[in-house]
Amino acid sequence: MKIALASDHGGFELKQIVKEYLLGKNMEVQDFGTDSLASVDYSDYGIQAAEAVANGDADRGIVICGTGIGISITANKVKGIRCSLCHDVYSAEMTRCHNDSNMLAMGGRVIGRDLALRIVQAWLETDFEGGRHLRRIQKIEDYELKK
């Protein structure tokens, strides 16, 4: 699996931890930055990662900013992206089961290392259920086509 990964300065340290985890699981990681704690705009990095997922260059994406809010809003502006902000394992599982999310957002200033890695693991290992949920996802995709 190829993962698009991005953060701003508020998510940089957690992004590095997540990157190490993903590489340890033999996943391919495309890191869109940022590469330091220097202040940057989350939107510059979130868009790049979301576009990689939307155009098929990556299977899924993980984006991180201070709270996860700004970068998740940014990712969701890209057509075809279903980015879910998760700060607990249950939400990570449900966003895959019910929403078939293709991007995960987290807040580097909101959750710690261990919880973040459990969220990532759950999100990566949980499959989409389909069924009635597929109909709902299709309605979202149909609406996007109208734009």
Identify the active-site residue in 9, 65, 83, 86: 65
CA 37 to CA 87: how far, in whole Å?
22
Identify the active-site residue in 87, 97, 98, 133: 98
Distances (CA, A) of 88 to 24, 27, 61, 111: 22, 22, 17, 9
Does residue 87 have an active-site annotation?
no
Does residue 133 have an active-site annotation?
no
Closest CA to 126 of 147, 144, 102: 102
Q: Which two tokens stand for residue 78?
A: 């890209």
| Percent helix / strand / coil, the chain, rounded to 5 | 50, 15, 35
CA 58 to CA 90: how far, in whole Å?
24
**What are the residue numbers of the active site?**
65, 98
